[in-house]
Chains A and B, each alone.
Chain A
Amino acid sequence: SQTIHQWPATLVQPVGSPLSLECTVEGTSNPNLYWYRQAAGRGLQLLFYSVGIGQISSEVPQNLSASRPQDRQFILSSKKLLLSDSGFFLCAGSVNRESGYTFGSGTRLTVV
């Protein structure tokens, strides 16, 4: 079974600073990978998904970008953070539709 690793668990960053959140996958190869954001008291918003190395699809226009330099690595980035970028960011992986998604433990980002 696959395991999704995310770090850091919490992050406080000033407005205008860059961001790099990393997600790595263990236990499987060639997964679909996803970045979600969850605002307080809300559902999960799909930000990006990837079906393979270098293949990124964006679901919503925003100040964030994603990259997949290796099969088991998915990175969420920003060049300049905005206050509105705060939230709980979750990385998820999926091998096939029948087995569902496996989520990481998340990164709580606070932009100050």
Chain B
Amino acid sequence: LAKTTQPISMDSYEGQEVNITCSHNNIATNDYITWYQQFPSQGPRFIIQGYKTKVTNEVASLFIPADRKSSTLSLPRVSLSDTAVYYCPDECHGNNRLAFGKGNQVVVIP
């Protein structure tokens, strides 16, 4: 499995844009890059997926550089309800088996 790495925790104020990075040093050619959000005592929720360049949906934007060795999840104007753990799981070389690391705890402060 490819191994992704993320910062462990970060704080942000309400209304700010939050950018979370993930390193994909061993990403395979046909692997997608996906991000999930998890609230306490709930299962993770799929947020966004991309392969290269930029993807935007109603929740977030995902920026992927040409070499695909990293990705950045951007949350515009966060609110208190965006406090959660964010994951960028490894895809097992396109076999649709995801390996989740510890994720990045984002705490939004009033």
User: B97 — which chain A residues lie within 8 A by C-beta?
Assistant: 34, 46, 49, 59
A94 to B45, CA, bound (A): 12
**B96 contacts the other chain (CB 8 A):** yes
Number of A-B contacts (CB under 8 A): 53
Determine the interface band of chain A, counting residues with CB < 8 A from chain B. 20 to 34
A42 to B42, CA, bound (A): 14
A49 to B91, CA, bound (A): 14
A98 to B45, CA, bound (A): 14
User: A101 — which chain B residues lie within 8 A by C-beta?
Assistant: 36, 44, 46, 98
User: A78 — which chain B residues lie within 8 A by C-beta?
Assistant: none
- Is B101 in contact with A97, judged by CB distance below 8 angstroms? no
Chain B nearest CB: distance from A80 CB in Å?
Answer: 27
- Is A97 in contact with B43, judged by CB distance below 8 angstroms? no
- Is A106 in contact with B49, judged by CB distance below 8 angstroms? no
Given A46-B98, A97-B32, 15 other A-B residues pairs in contact with their CB atoms under 8 A: A42-B102, A43-B100, A43-B101, A46-B97, A46-B99, A49-B97, A59-B97, A97-B91, A97-B96, A99-B46, A100-B36, A101-B44, A101-B46, A105-B43, A108-B41
